[in-house]
Structure 1
Amino acid sequence: MLSEHPSDATHRVYVRGQVVTTLRFEKAVDTTRTKLLGWEGRLEPLVVVRNKVVLEPMHDLADDEGIPLIVTLVDGTEAAFLLRHPGWRHSNGADQQVDVFKDPESYASMHAALLRALKENSTLTEENERYRKEEVSEDHALAALLASEAIAQTPFKLADRFSGKDDESEVDAQVFQGKGKVAVVFKVKNTHSQEPWSLKSARLVTKDGGHARAVAIRVTTREITLGSSGVVAAVVDSSAFMEEGVLTSLFLEIYRQDGLRQAFVQLDPALLAR
């Protein structure tokens, strides 16, 4: 939604190298008065097709780099944008199609707003249902105790440990054995110079076949600030190890905010205490 309020920042459009991003307007675009500033060597030449502006960077922009874009419609309306790298807050990737509306009460604008609201409502409904189930889940309760480092209050015993680090973080992990359950506790220290660390997702799959399995996850904080540490705890029930009636090994992976895999551990059925 285009805004004329003086306090509103320039609209960001997030782009990636060799990925096409299209801006779609309600009216035709004036080719002669639509331009990029300082784009040479970083983007392919700007393409305008009727009411669409097509962008394609040759390579990723730097985190602190921004390229201004001025779009002028045939009715004289001007809209300013700033092309940016998605960064860690937009780790899902580049914008694919950006629909731009001037009149918030037009049919197309209201239809887009309705679809967005329905999508957000569906997401919130799913989250509420997931939270409701987690509140009564034994595995999530155990994961919460492990995340708060109250290991003595759980039935788990230490079975193994490992550690590793890269330029942005350090990870110390402990693998625990329990009665009919296995747990892993990752202690993550954020050593990045600028960005906080956060858990994007956790994935538990069978070693043979890669079939997804349920895993209870708890974290101590949504974001780990620079120089600080946080804990990610995972609890796996014995039923997850069953594959067509036979016990099988599992792979547990955790992914950080930019989509990269931060840690990986193989869980064998032998960890299940009797």
Structure 2
Amino acid sequence: MSETATAEAAYYEHTLTHRPLDPVSRYTPHPGLAQITSKLLTLPAEIRARIYHHAFQGNRVAVTSVRGCYCGSVATGPYRDDLNWMLKLPRWGELSYEVRRAFIGEALWEIHCEKAFEAFVARFRYLSNGNDALLRQVRHIKVNVFEIIRESWLVETNVFGPALRSITFGPWQKGWTIDVPNAVESPDELSDEKLMVRVTHAINTKHGYGFLKEAWEKGRVQRGGWKALFLFPIRYHVKQKDGKKRWQMQTWRADLDEGVIEKDWKDVHLVQEATLD
């Protein structure tokens, strides 16, 4: 394998942002969609907002940079977008503008690295004629955190304004796990309270997590109102049908402000790749 191919393989196999390829299919809109879109603007605004929420909630867009990281390439993308019909409405129509703003606000924008962040900000400013109007519609982002200081980067949250509701921090290096070998005998070891102790220890021992630690210590109000979430790899024993134990490996998400563990976090729901430079 070439150096680039090897690096890409390592990225997709060994990071928490691993995204399996979804076969690219030719998009064919349902014949009934034209009737739906033609009547959307006749509905009350609160009903339209609920429709957009159900359509776009959980969408995850992988924001990458062609230069400086191995995320975007013809070998790995693009990804299927089952909601293309809403995003491909007539470009300058009132409905199209509203739908795009709704998508921006509902989606989780997975920003790979500092170069990708710069491209993300530049692209959104370009699309809104040089201002931050679209950036201030963004509510949820996910960024990678690096374990060593020289690779870490500061997230400029001020560009998003008060609309930003959450930042999910995902460890880039996956060289550690939270191990719970006695989960079968003591299920309480997987309780939120005990896991938060382990999560706190993991965060405090990584030198490159400075931005995350400082934001967490400030508290939600002082940092601007957005929620701090942290992905962590966990390994615990489960009992098989034959009575033997085996390791179960998963990725869970900790709400650092509430002390709650989201155990049904999925690495992938619907991912679309956005290579912005």
Structure with the bigger percentage of strand: 1
TM-score (norm 1): 0.22
Structure with the bigger percentage of helix: 2
If asked which structure has higher relative contact order (CA below 8 Å, sep 6+), I would say: 2
